[in-house]
Amino acid sequence: MELNSRSSLFENAKNGDRRSLAKLLTRIENGEEIDIPTTKSAWVLGVTGPPGAGKSTLIDRLASHWSENKQRVAILAVDPSSPITGGALLGDRARMVHSNPTQVYFRSISARGNHGGIPNGLEAMIQALSESGWDRVIIETVGVGQGEFAVISVANRILLVDGPDRGDVLQAEKAGILEIADLIACNKSDLPGSLNAMKSVEDGLSYSDNPPPVISVSSLTGDGIENLVHRLEALEPDLGKSTARAKISLESVMISRIRRSPLYDDVVHDISQNKITSKQGAERMESNYGRI
Ligand SMILES: Nc1nc2c(ncn2[C@@H]2O[C@H](COP(=O)(O)OP(=O)(O)OP(=O)(O)O)[C@@H](O)[C@H]2O)c(=O)[nH]1
Ligand SMILES: [Mg+2]
């Protein structure tokens, strides 16, 4: 009975029923293991960058482009602080002004309670979306910190958005995002000073080994968006980047499992009281591996 209702949720989601899709994703988010067939690998774009750089506006442009080309676009906005889950943040929904709503699905996901890592079930949600006919899945995160970094690592293409008033590319470099980003979009090219900003982003990259290309766009006017879409669609798989992403996502999942372990607090306490060394603490955790 329960199994039937799960599989019919998936079947209905596949047939375009959004309520079933929302229910399915909520169940996955709540930790239910749901068997979703894997027939293809999802096309997933991670979009990250500092607050206010224009990520949501840019995603709206991308979604609009793809939806006009008869592709279905699902957007997952991961908000590190929001307790809201399953719904849509009003602000973000209001920004989706260009996209065709019938071809675009939007959902916000709370990152709370996941110990600063990848939200519960995010990868399974992506798979469910892809298998139910969403051709492009876009994940938006805020900021360039460790948590966002982990979230974005589940994508197989990564776009870093920066803006002339931000210039956070150096911060991104420190955080290691450049190692996994495929492209940098220097947004707000309509603003005065944007050429200088682009130059300073490129200068900032000059110390990097294999810096991602930087392109200039304006999400406000749409300038450069065609070029961005073209570049995103033409991205070749990069073994170095996919390895770096896999390391981050694996390590992030391991860290959150360690933190969720029932032993964690006791082991931390014993280390802090010098009763055991951290190596012994790690060994105690490992000997209870099944409980991590
Ligand atoms: N002039 C100009 N303004 C833009 C452009 N893109 C976005 N904006 C404005 O920049 C502000 C922030 O845009 P958002 O798309 O909300 O930025 P965000 O990166 O998603 O912000 P958070 O989700 O809060 O981190 C809004 O007022 C947008 O209208 C652009 O290309 N040019
Ligand atoms: Mg946003």
CATH 3.40.50.300 boundaries in the chain: 39-239
Q: How many angstroms separate the CA atoms of 182 and 107, rounded?
A: 24
Among 55, 256, 53, residue whose Cα is nearest residue 146: 256
Atom 8 of ligand 1, residue of closest alpha carbon: 54
- In the chain, pLDDT over 90 holds for what percent of residues? 48
CATH architecture of 39-239: 3-Layer(aba) Sandwich (3.40)
182-194: average pLDDT: 90
> How many whole angstroms from 37 Cα to the centroid of ligand 2?
31
Among 249, 251, 49, residue whose Cα is nearest residue 158: 49
Q: Average pLDDT over the chain, rounded to whole?
A: 84
Q: How many angstroms separate the CA atoms of 206 and 228, rounded?
A: 22
- pLDDT of the residue at 1: 42
- pLDDT of the residue at 88: 44
Half-sphere exposure in the Cβ direction for 240 (13 Å, CA): 9
For the stretch 201-258, pLDDT in tens is 787 777 777 788 999 999 999 999 999 999 999 998 889 899 999 999 899 888 888 8
Q: Which residues surround ligand 2, an ion (CB under 5 A)?
A: 55-56
Asked if the model's pLDDT at residue 98 lies above 80, the reply is: no
Asked if the model's pLDDT at residue 23 lies above 50, the reply is: yes
- pLDDT of the residue at 85: 46
Q: Which residues approach ligand 1 with their CB closer than 6 A?
A: 51-57, 95, 142, 187-188, 190-191, 218-220
- pLDDT of the residue at 210: 78
Asked if the model's pLDDT at residue 76 lies above 90, the reply is: yes
| 178: helix, strand or coil | helix
Structural contact between residues 182 and 159, judged by C-beta atoms closer than 8 angstroms: yes
- Ligand 1 pocket test, candidate residues 219, 221, 223, most atoms within 8 A of CB: 219
Asked if the model's pLDDT at residue 81 lies above 60, the reply is: no
